[in-house]
Structure 1
Amino acid sequence: MLLYHSALALLALAGTASSHATMFGVSVNGEDQGDGRDKYIRTPATNDPVRDLQSPNLVCNTNGGRAAPSFVKAAAGDTLAFRWFHFNPSDPGDILDPSHKGAVLTYIAPFTEGNGAIPIWSKLAQQGFDGEGATIKMIANGGKVEFSLPKALAPGKYLIRQELLALHMADFRGDTNPGRGAESYPSCVQVEVTSSGDALPDQDFDFNRGYKYDDPGLFFNIYVPFDTYTPPGPPIWDAEA
């Protein structure tokens, strides 16, 4: 069993060179909004993962504090799809190494020109393991992850953060094993919402305090059989409450 586990870990390490991912664009109700890099997406300087849970880069990645010049326009209740890629956005197969099984988490916060590393976030959606990892489903969907804006969401400008959470090395804690641990690929999109609702995100979640190295959603072994997996962070925000 130890040899088997070690072999799996080595395979995971072998895939890291081709594993990285970043966000390319957004669709609103199926309508492509075009290449959003450095337009409405706060595009990171690299497509590398973030492992340091105390780093402000965990929130909106590198360049997270650099506001983009425009916003995606959407209405409360609309379905948005965020599309990810590895190096070549024109290659539908170049998305994420399939060894990087894990979750996809989506958060929202009132718009800020800062890097978002303050307690302002609420969780909009999460996908973990339902038969297979959410990242594998994302790859099969051409790099797209869909979610809906709450119908009761108040009008205004927001940051929406989506995170690919790869767990191929999460059987080791990132604080005790340098170079190991869960890999976070976060990206933030600027969205302007029209609405007649009045619900404002109020969970005030803080990633740098709320994500812990021993969190079972971050310190998790995908190489042994398991029945359940609970992603890190707060529960999904109930905008109707």
Structure 2
Amino acid sequence: MKYSQVLIGAAAASLASAHATIYNVWVNDVDQGTGNSAAGYIRSPPNNSPIKDITSKDMTCNVNNVAAAKTINVAAGDKISLEWHHNNNSPADDIIDSTHKGPVMVYIAPAASNGEGDVWVKLAEDGYDGSQWAVQKLIANKGKHDFILPSTLADNKYLIRGEIIALHEADSAYSANPGRGAQFYMECVQISVSGGGSTLLPAGVSIPGAYSDTDPGVVFNLYGGFTSYKIPGPAVWNGGSSGTAPKPPTTTPAVPISGQAPGKAEDPKSTPIATPAPVATSAKSPCKPKTSSDAPKPTKTPCTGKTPTTMATVATPAVSGTSAASGATVALYGQCGGQNYQGPTTCASGSTCTNYNPWYSQCVAA
């Protein structure tokens, strides 16, 4: 009897630690380097433990919702892959315990919101297809979950929130039985989108707040007879239904990365950033930019192809916006400035105009 109890306890301990976090992000199949460190681009928690209280503020970006050191530069329309792991990002890692079946989702929100308020828009989801769970597909794909950024998404800085819901103990709500309940794994990745269009994010949902104990996808008996599963949260955004802003110029500034190969992180504290110059850019070609690291102002060799994305911290100029409509105000999360912008620049009460890049400024909560 004692031996059986030891085995049961060991098995329970194994399952309890078979969790997962995001280690890497890939852009158009180019690895952006390990991002879950103090010098990375992921707002990573100190461990891989799940969140179970769906009313907790930790549901937003986990327990460490603090700005990371770096941001990944991407283009609208890029393929993004979030790479999840259990212990490390080696090929031998088991990703997450195979018993932790459930859905995998991706949300997006303006970075300036810090994830607070009704700002989260669902970009992708995968649940149960009648024979296989999304987590099983994730394990088979070596931890990678892919999605595509909308091709007309407005240039801005965003938070990408990857999420896994493990349902192996979800037969009871955590609020009813703290020893049970669905397990939520999430983190936020910092990205900066360029080369996009005029499509702004629509009204979103609040996290916490998007899920309830009455949702059939939150309380779910994985071991009972079932033929389908309803993924909790809002519907996936189609990428086109939202308010619009004037389309930015068709050229975007090249961001020289001093002494840095594509796909690797840059130290924003030690690398000089050249003043942006209008150069047509993209991020989908093997053509690699050549940069100079021994001069105060890096220079970039012209490249006719499209280049893999890299990470950088970019100094942004002051808001430029002229001929603003007299007396008009801009609603929360509306555009309030930028190059060639002709609309009003005064934000509605309770919000302030924040500059993100030379072509786009947005009203955010004060």
Superposed pair shares fold, TM > 0.5:
yes
Aligned 8 A contact 1:56 1:117 in 2: no
- Deviation, 1:91, is 4.2
Are positions 1:142 and 2:137 aligned together? no
Once the two structures are superposed, what CA deviation does each residue of 1:11-70 show, in whole Å capped at 9, x if it has no partner? Answer: 995652332111101000100000111311011121100001111111100111x10111
Distance in 1, Cα, partners of 2:11 & 2:152? 42
Relative contact order, CA 8 A, sep 6+: which one is greater?
1
Distance across 1 between alignment mates of 2:57 and 2:91: 31
Query: Aligned AA for 1:47?
Result: N
Structure 2 gap ranges (5+): 1-8, 242-366
**Alignment partner, residue 85 of structure 2:** 85
Instruction: State how far apart, in whole Å, the 2-side matches of 1:149 and 1:11 are.
Output: 42
1:121 and 1:98 mapped to 2: Cα distance?
29
CA offset at residue 86 of structure 1?
Answer: 0.9
Q: List aligned pairs for 1:1-241, cutoff 5 A.
A: 13=12, 15-38=14-37, 39-64=40-65, 66-112=66-112, 114=114, 116-130=115-129, 131-241=131-241
Contact between 1:203 and 1:237, CA under 8 Å: does it hold in 2?
Answer: no
Between the aligned partners of 2:218 and 2:158, the Cα distance in structure 1 is: 27
Matched-pair identity in %: 44
- Tell me the amino acid that sits aligned with residue 45 of structure 2: P
Counterpart CA distance in 1 for 2:150 and 2:159 is: 14
2: CA distance between counterparts of 1:45 and 1:181? 22
CA contact (8 A) 1:102 1:133 kept: yes
- C-alpha distance in structure 2 between counterparts of 1:196 and 1:182, whole Å: 37
Q: How far apart, in 2, do the equivalents of 1:237 and 1:12 lie?
A: 40
SS of 1:84's equivalent in the other structure is strand
- State the shift of 1:195 in Å: 2.5
User: Quick one: distance in 1 between partners of 2:215 and 2:128?
Assistant: 16
1:196 positional shift:
3.2
CA displacement at 1:208 relative to structure 2: 1.8
Deviates more, 1:34-43 or 1:196-205: 196-205
* Mapped contact 1:25–1:34 kept (Cα < 8 A): yes
More helix by percentage: 1
Larger radius of gyration: 2
2:16 aligned partner, one-letter code: A
Which residue in the other structure is 2:278 paired with? none
- 1:88/1:94 contact within 8 Å kept: no
TM-aligned CA deviation for residue 152 of structure 1: 1.6
Distance in 2 of aligned mates of 1:117 and 1:44: 18
Deviation at residue 112 of structure 1 after TM alignment: 2.8
Q: Give the Å deviation of 1:204.
A: 2.0
Paired with 2:202 and 2:41, the residues of 1 have a C-alpha distance of 24
Tell me, yes or no, if the aligned pair for 1:12 and 1:99 is still in contact at 8 Å: no
Q: Normalising by structure 1, what TM-score?
A: 0.90
Cα distance in structure 1, aligned partners of 2:126 and 2:85: 18
Shift of 1:163: 0.3
Q: Provide structure 1 residue ranges, at least 5 long, that are not aligned to the other structure.
A: 1-9
- 1:5 alignment counterpart: none
Structure 2 distance, partners of 1:222, 1:11, is 22
3-state secondary structure, aligned to 2:112:
coil
Partner SS state of residue 132, structure 1:
coil
Supply the distance in 2 between the matched residues of 1:12 and 1:125 (Cα, whole angstroms): 33
Give per-residue Cα distances to partners, 1:177-210, cap 9 Å, x unaligned: 1121110000100011113311122232112222
Contact 2:87 2:93 in 1 (8 A): no
TM-score normalised by the chain length of structure 2: 0.60
Query: Residues of 2 paired with 1:43 and 1:113: CA distance?
Result: 18
Distance 1:113 1:153, change over 3 A: closer
User: Which runs of at least 4 in structure 1 moved beyond 6 Å after TM superposition?
Assistant: none
Q: CA deviation at 1:110?
A: 0.5
> Aligned in 2, Cα 1:146/1:92: closer, same or farther, shift over 3 Å?
farther
Answer yes or no: is the 8 Å Cα contact 1:122–1:204 preserved in 2. Answer: yes
